[in-house]
Structure 1
C-alpha cells in the first residue's frame, strides 16, 4: 500500500497537495467545532456553579469559578 501511495504521489503531486490541504481544513474545522462545544459546556457549568458563589458551605466554589471564568475569558468584578 505504501509503495502505491508513493507512486501516486510522484504522478500526481498537485492532487496530494490539494488532498492534504483539504484534510487540514477539515481538521481545523473539526477542532473549531470541538472548541465551541467545550466553551458552551464551560459556560453552562459556570452559570450553574455561580449559584453557589459565596456559599461558605461549598468548598472551593470561588476558586473553581475563577478557573472556569479565566478559561472562558470572562471577568466578574
Structure 2
C-alpha cells in the first residue's frame, strides 16, 4: 500500500483498535462479577470489529500489515 493519507489512517486506526482489543481482553479476564458483563460485551464488540476489518482487507486485496492488524487473530486472541 502506498503512503497516502488514507493508507496511513488505516494503519494507525488498525493499530489503535488492536491495542484496544487486547486491553479489552485483559480487562474482561480481570473484571469483577459486577463488571464482567460489560467487559465481556466490550470484548465481543472488539472481536467483531477486528474480524470485520481483516475480512474487508482480504476482500479488497489488502495485507493485514497494511492496516495494522497483523499478529492478532480474533478467534485465538479475543475469546
Q: TM-score, normalised by structure 2?
A: 0.45
Higher relative contact order (CA 8 A, sep 6+): 2
Q: TM-score, normalised by structure 1?
A: 0.45
Rg (Cα) greater in structure: 1
